[in-house]
Amino acid sequence: MNKIYVRGLCLVLVLCAAVPSVSANANAIGIGANYWRTVDKLNEGFDRDGLSWLVTYQRNLSRLLAVQTDIEWFRSGFGASEKDVFAPQAYLLAGGALYAGIGIGILYSDGDFNDKPYYAVRVGFDFELLPTIHLDINGNYQFSEWDDINRLQDKIGSDTVFMGAAVRFEF
């Protein structure tokens, strides 16, 4: 089942790169960080909050519509994982300097993908610092389950709130 989600996410990434853009500076790549915190209190062994890092790519489809793909890296302890966790994700964003969007992603740790993807909503501000440099400040809410990234018998998960920032360079 997880191969279907991974293939779907890969298809979205390929389509994002193949769709023609109507704006001159349609592509941007960058790096960023997120502070995350679980909504629920969790048992011992689970980190309730932390910092994650990400690499981000954004393609403008029009002045008010963009797709974004990120690969986020969580250190061990996220979801009680004993190994680092990676989260490839894709978003469809609408708006300009103030934007909102929806997204999907999947958690990957210790050679395995989670059985189910997670879904997210995002609201943010995209500030143009210089003509080709943008600062993106955003808030995200992820609907997540951590069944397969930790090796515990119980089905444990918590929705997670993220506050993040990224710097992107247009090309």
Within 10 A of 125 (CB to CB), how many other CB atoms are there? 15
List, for the chain, all residue ranges whose pLDDT scores fall below the cut of 50.
Answer: 16, 19-22, 24, 153
Cα–Cα distance between 134 and 145 in angstroms, integer? Answer: 32
Cα–Cα distance between 65 and 96 in angstroms, integer? Answer: 8
Q: What pLDDT does residue 146 have?
A: 60
Q: What pLDDT does residue 22 have?
A: 42
For the chain, how are helix, strand and coil distributed in percent, rounded to 5?
A: 10, 55, 35
Domains recognised in the chain with CATH numbers: 2-170 (2.40.160.20)
Q: Kindly report, residue by residue over 147-156, the tens digit of the pLDDT.
A: 555 555 455 5
Torsion sign over Cα 84, 160, 47, 150: negative
Q: What pLDDT does residue 50 have?
A: 87
Q: What pLDDT does residue 82 have?
A: 80
Q: What pLDDT does residue 54 have?
A: 97
Within 10 A of 84 (CB to CB), how many other CB atoms are there? 14
pTM passes above 0.85: no
Q: What pLDDT does residue 154 have?
A: 55
Distances, alpha carbon 106 to alpha carbons 93, 128, 136, 142, in Å = 18, 30, 22, 11
Q: What pLDDT does residue 31 have?
A: 98
CB 67 within 8 A of CB 60: no
Phi, psi of 4 (to 5 degrees): -65, -45
Cα–Cα distance between 122 and 101 in angstroms, integer? Answer: 5
